[in-house]
């Protein structure tokens, strides 16, 4: 794993509130990294530190091997959760203004604006005033402003809010395309299914602390609690098994569907035993949902904090 | 182009391209002319409703004093105060003028149901005074024509002693110019200060700001806004100046024949040295704009909504308004203590000094005043930048002076 962004022991306190408390993690080059956490966990503070909008009280941020500097701002694209545009400005003018603020020259900016407006099929809006556009349309312009200057690092804070399902897919595909181009992407959201869909690795922050980190599949395995969904013939008798706990049982005409937890022994032994009893139709592990991992981890963290 | 340059360009172009800019540029001079001209026009043309006054004269000497004219019709009666009251009750008259027999001591009374206009009152008083004066002259055996001859007007002119050479000075015009300068500064600080505040609020309220300050520094944003809007103001000045010059050149011949007074004033302006006035005007305009503008911008960054601006606007506008109010009395005594102090204190100096420069201001006062103004605007821009940086990202909370004090002291 080639590290692109490194957060080391970053802390930040606002008046009396500790927004970030010794947070560390690394984002690999070219991956989509999920930055997760409940409301008020410190995600926005962290993102603002990466954008140099605010500076940390302590800790180091390393960008592409060097300490983060103002020069890096043109290499970062940031889509904030709270976003807006100049309402009275024309779409084209606005895109060019922000592109040039990010350091593109006039012709580069025009070229990039052309490219992206065509890509998102909004080229006909070039001379429209922003205030005449719908919210979803404005979000598309916002997206273009974020990615236009070919940043090496993209930070999306809830990028899908305000979009209809069709546009969510459109934007999701753009994000995946940007990843293919080698862009490193930090993705912050409360929408867990979308994290499962596109993130390679995640970090979970609660109350300013890093409480869970790792590759998405690895994290899920960590939380795998040996629960399986099994489908058998209806007349199969499973009451004699004491190595399993039956969590759910559902019978229909000729099938028996059960959810079990293996208490002892190996999966393969159980499969053998089940097959001997009758016709085993299917046997699948129940992979924990990121949603449940989130709720469980944050909940436990809360308990520990309360006890302290 | 630098980020600052881009921000300046955006601020400037979006404002100048607006229709309202064009409208205001042409409407403001008309409005100013209107403010001066309308009362004059009203006074000269509108004489009000026609009025009927009954004169009840106990002295029986005043009949000839009252001659009906286009404003007032007089009806003359003999009688006492009761007659006057009864006539008023009849309701046929705007008012009843009662003249007692000993009018010099008992005073003339005007009785009416509703308060009568000042013009009517002064007309009536004039008629009585004039009549009594004529009578007195007769008694003293003085011919009114001789008396008129006794009134004279001796011409007085002012000369300035410039290193031993006398130069004609025109203190009236200098006073007027100073006052115009003061007024322009006052107006522009309000107009453009509020624009600065609104522009900042638009970026904060419209949540545009986070995108901008992830690309540029908040100080660049603030400075870009201040400079961009100043350029809009200069554009407006420029348009006015050019149109004024064009107007003067175009009407030169006609002006002398139809408006000789204005032509004479213009002739006088040509003779005075406008350079020093212009330079001082620019210095004070820019200084006061930076001083007040940065504070207005800071307010815009601190608050969430227009209604919250009130509490912060007040302390900023008070010195401005005070300066403008005092300006009227400073014209009477331009070298007095009040004038000197107010023209040195930076918050009032731009307006007050503009009024004073029509009269000779000691160099040390001028230098001290400008020096303090520069120091102060550096301080306010610095403080405003601190408020700006933190205020822009603080949402959803009503901001107090305490918060702002914290932001100013905040390090890092």
Model confidence pLDDT, tens digit, residues A168-209: 999 999 999 999 999 999 999 888 888 888 999 999 998 888
For range A146-169, the mean pLDDT: 91
A108: pLDDT strictly greater than 90: yes
pLDDT at A151 over 90: yes
Chain B: residue nearest A99 by CA? B215
State whether residue B398 is helix, strand or coil. coil
Given an 8 Å threshold on Cβ–Cβ distance, is A101 in contact with B208? no
Contact A80 B210 (CB under 8 A): yes
Contacts of B207 in chain A (CB under 8 A): 80, 82-84
- pLDDT at position B243 is 87
Could you please report the per-residue DSSP string of B329-396?
HHHHSTTSHHHHHHTTSTTTHHHHHHHHTTS---HHHHHHHHHHHHHHHHHHHHHHHHHHHHHTT--S
How far A53 CA sits from the closest chain B CA (Å)?
A: 6
Residue in A with minimal Cα distance to B208: A84
For A251, left (φ over 0), alpha (ψ -120 to 50), or beta? beta
More confident: B410 or A126? A126
Nearest CA in chain B to A102: B215
Q: What is the pLDDT of residue B253?
A: 66
- At residue A285, the pLDDT reads 86
Using beta carbons and an 8 Å cutoff, which residues of A are at the interface with B?
A: 15, 48, 51-55, 57, 73-74, 76, 78, 80, 82-89, 97-98, 100-102, 142, 145
Please give the residue of chain B at the shortest CA–CA distance from A98. B212
Model confidence at A47, pLDDT cuts 50, 70, 90, reads: very high
Q: What is the mean pLDDT of the segment spanning A37-54?
A: 88
> By C-alpha distance, which of B376, B375, B408, B372 is closest to B391?
B408
CA gap B141, B138 in Å, rounded: 5
* Chain B CB contacts of A73 below 8 Å: 214-215
pLDDT tens digits, residue range B305-362?
Answer: 878 888 888 888 898 888 888 887 887 788 888 888 888 999 999 988 888 887 778 8
DSSP structure string for B274-329:
HHHHHHHHHHHHHHHHHHHHHHHHHHHHH-SSGGGGHHHHHHHHHHHHHHHHHHHH
Choose the weakest-confidence range: A220-224, B53-57, B253-257. B253-257
Contact A205, A42 (CB under 8 A): yes
The answer to whether B211 contacts A80, with C-beta atoms less than 8 Å apart, is: yes
B138-196 pLDDT, tens digit per residue, is 888 888 888 888 888 887 777 767 667 776 666 677 777 888 888 888 888 888 898 89
Q: How far is B310 from chain A (nearest CA, A)?
A: 25
pLDDT at B231: 94
User: Sorting pLDDT into bands at 50, 70 and 90, what band is B86?
Assistant: confident
pLDDT at B132 over 60: yes
DSSP symbol at B51: E
B interface residues, A as partner, C-beta within 8 Å: 1, 3, 6-7, 10, 14, 18, 202, 206-208, 210-216, 393, 395, 406, 412
Helices B363-391 and B401-409, axial angle in degrees (round to 10): 100
Given a contact cutoff of 8 angstroms between Cβ atoms, the answer to whether B7 and B224 are in contact is yes
Q: What's the pLDDT tens digit per position in A224-251?
A: 888 888 888 777 677 777 777 888 888 8
Q: Do A101 and B395 touch (CB under 8 A)?
A: no
Supply the pLDDT for residue B235.
93
Q: Per-residue pLDDT for B286 more than 80?
A: yes
> Residue B49 carries which DSSP code?
S
Say yes or no for a CB contact (<8 Å) between B216 and A78: no
Domain residue ranges of chain B, discontinuous segments joined by +: 51-147, 170-409
Tokens, residue B340: 């000197």
pLDDT for residue A4 is more than 90: yes
Give A102's contacts in chain B (Cβ within 8 Å).
215
Q: Report the 10 Å Cβ neighbour count for B394.
A: 15
Q: What is the mean pLDDT of chain B?
A: 83
The answer to whether the CB atoms of B213 and A53 lie below 8 A apart is yes
Question: At residue A63, does pLDDT exceed 80?
Answer: yes
* Mean pLDDT, chain A, whole residue set: 87
Question: Which residue bears the tokens 């404003």?
Answer: B71
Q: Do B207 and A51 touch (CB under 8 A)?
A: no
Chain A CA closest to residue B393 = A53
Nearest Cα neighbor of B72 from B91, B88, B46, B51 is B51
Give the helix/strand (H/E) hosting B160. strand B159-162
Give which of A57, A69, A86 to mutate to test B binding, by max B Cβ within 10 Å.
A86
Region B114-122: mean pLDDT is 81
Residue B411 has pLDDT above 70, yes or no: no
* % of chain B surpassing 90 pLDDT: 14
Burial B131-158 (b: 16+ CB within 10 A, else e): beeeeeeeeeeeeeeeeeeeeeeeeeee
Contacts of A101 in chain B (CB under 8 A): 3, 6-7, 212, 215-216
Question: Which chain B residues are within 8 Å of A98, Cβ to Cβ?
Answer: 211, 215
Query: CA nearest B412 in A: which residue?
Result: A55
pLDDT-above-70 percentage for chain B: 90
Question: Which residue of chain B has the CA closest to A83?
Answer: B207
What is the average per-residue pLDDT within A32-60? Answer: 89
The residue of B210, B213, B406 whose CB has the most chain A CBs within 10 angstroms, and thus the best one to mutate to test that interface, is B210
Is A83 in contact with B412 (Cβ distance < 8 A)? no
- Residue of B214, B304, B394 to mutate when probing chain A, most A C-beta within 10 A: B214
The CATH architecture annotation of domain B51-147 reads 3-Layer(aba) Sandwich (3.40)
Q: What confidence tens digit (pLDDT) does each residue in B393-408 have?
A: 777 677 788 888 877 8
Inter-residue contact A273 to A183 (CB < 8 Å) = no
Are B95 and B110 in contact, with CB atoms under 8 Å apart?
Answer: yes
What pLDDT shows up at residue A112? Answer: 93
Q: Per the structure block, which two tokens stand in for A104?
A: 């593109």
Tell me the pLDDT tens digit for each residue of B207-254.
Answer: 888 888 888 888 899 999 999 999 999 998 899 888 888 887 877 666
User: A-B interface: how many C-beta pairs under 8 angstroms?
Assistant: 58
> Residue A25 — pLDDT band, cuts 50, 70, 90?
very high
- Three-class SS of residue B237? helix
Say whether B208 and A97 touch across the interface (CB within 8 A). no
**Signed CA dihedral, B6, B9, B12, B18: sign only:** negative
Residue B412 has pLDDT above 60, yes or no: no
pLDDT level of residue B135 (50, 70, 90 thresholds): confident
Tell me what pLDDT residue B259 has: 66
The token duo for A288 is: 């924990």
């Amino acid at each position: 794993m080639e590290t692109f962004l490194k957060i080391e022991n970053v802390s930040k306190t606002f008046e009396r509130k500790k927004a970030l408390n010794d947070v560390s993690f690394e984002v690999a080059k070219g991956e989509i990294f999920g930055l997760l956490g409940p409301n008020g966990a410190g995600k926005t503070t962290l993102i603002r530190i990466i954008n140099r909008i605010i500076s940390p009280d302590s800790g180091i941020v390393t960008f592409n091997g060097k300490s983060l500097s103002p020069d890096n701002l043109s290499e970062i694209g940031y889509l904030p959760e709270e976003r807006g545009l100049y309402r009275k400005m024309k779409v084209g003018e606005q895109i060019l203004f922000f592109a040039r603020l990010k350091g593109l020259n006039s012709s580069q900016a025009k070229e990039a604006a052309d490219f992206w407006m065509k890509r998102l099929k909004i080229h006909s809006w070039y001379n429209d005033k922003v205030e005449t556009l719908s919210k979803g349309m404005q979000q598309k312009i916002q997206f273009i402003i974020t990615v236009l200057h070919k940043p090496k690092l993209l930070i999306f804070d809830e990028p899908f809010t305000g979009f209809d399902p069709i546009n969510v897919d459109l934007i999701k595909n753009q994000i995946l395309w940007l990843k293919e181009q080698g862009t490193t992407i930090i993705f912050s959201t409360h929408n867990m299914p979308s994290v499962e869909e596109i993130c390679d690795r995640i970090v979970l922050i609660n109350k300013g602390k890093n409480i869970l980190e790792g590759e998405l599949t690895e994290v899920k395995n960590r939380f795998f609690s040996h629960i399986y969904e099994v489908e058998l013939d209806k007349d199969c008798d499973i009451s004699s098994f004491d190595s399993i706990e039956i969590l759910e049982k559902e019978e229909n005409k000729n099938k028996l569907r059960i959810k079990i937890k293996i208490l002892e022994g190996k999966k393969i032994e159980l499969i053998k035993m089940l097959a001997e009893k009758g016709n085993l139709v299917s046997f699948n592990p129940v992979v924990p949902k990121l949603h449940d991992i989130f709720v469980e981890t944050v909940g436990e963290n809360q308990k520990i904090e309360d006890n302290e | 182009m630098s980020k600052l340059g881009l921000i300046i360009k955006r601020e400037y172009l979006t404002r100048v391209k607006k229709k309202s800019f064009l409208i205001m540029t042409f409407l403001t001079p008309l409005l100013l002319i209107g403010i001066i001209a309308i009362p004059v026009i009203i006074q000269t043309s509108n004489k009000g409703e026609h009025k009927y006054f009954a004169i009840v004269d106990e002295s029986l000497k005043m009949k000839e004093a009252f001659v009906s004219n286009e404003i007032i019709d007089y009806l003359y009666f003999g009688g006492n105060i009761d007659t006057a009251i009864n006539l008023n009750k009849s309701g046929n008259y705007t008012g009843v003028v009662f003249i007692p027999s000993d009018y010099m001591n008992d005073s003339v009374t005007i009785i009416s149901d509703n308060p009568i206009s000042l013009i009517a009152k002064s007309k009536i008083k004039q008629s009585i005074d004039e009549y009594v004066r004529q009578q007195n002259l007769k008694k003293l055996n003085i011919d009114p024509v001789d008396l008129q001859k006794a009134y004279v007007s001796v011409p007085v002119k002012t000369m300035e002693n410039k290193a031993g050479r006398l130069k004609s000075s025109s203190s009236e015009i200098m006073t007027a110019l100073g006052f115009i300068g003061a007024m322009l500064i006052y107006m522009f600080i309000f107009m453009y200060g509020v624009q600065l505040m609104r522009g900042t609020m638009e970026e904060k309220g419209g949540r545009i700001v986070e995108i901008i300050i992830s690309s540029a520094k908040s100080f660049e944003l603030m400075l870009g806004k201040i400079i961009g809007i100043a350029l809009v103001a200069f554009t407006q000045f420029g348009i006015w100046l050019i149109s004024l010059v064009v107007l003067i050149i175009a009407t030169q011949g006609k002006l002398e024949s139809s408006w000789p007074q204005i032509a004479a004033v213009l002739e006088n302006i040509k003779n005075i040295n406008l350079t020093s006035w212009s330079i001082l005007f620019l210095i004070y305009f820019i200084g006061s704009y930076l001083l007040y503008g940065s504070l207005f911008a800071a307010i815009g960054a601190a608050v969430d909504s227009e209604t919250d601006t009130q509490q912060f606007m007040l302390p900023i506008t008070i010195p401005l308004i005070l300066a403008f109010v005092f300006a009227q009395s400073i014209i009477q005594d331009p070298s007095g203590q009040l004038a000197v102090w107010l023209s040195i204190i930076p918050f009032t100096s731009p307006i007050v000094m503009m009024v004073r420069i029509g009269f000779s201001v000691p160099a040390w006062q001028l230098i001290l005043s400008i020096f303090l103004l520069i120091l102060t605007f550096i301080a306010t821009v610095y403080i405003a930048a601190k408020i700006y940086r933190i205020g822009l990202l603080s949402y959803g909370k009503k901001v107090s002076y305490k918060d702002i004090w914290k932001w100013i002291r905040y390090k890092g």
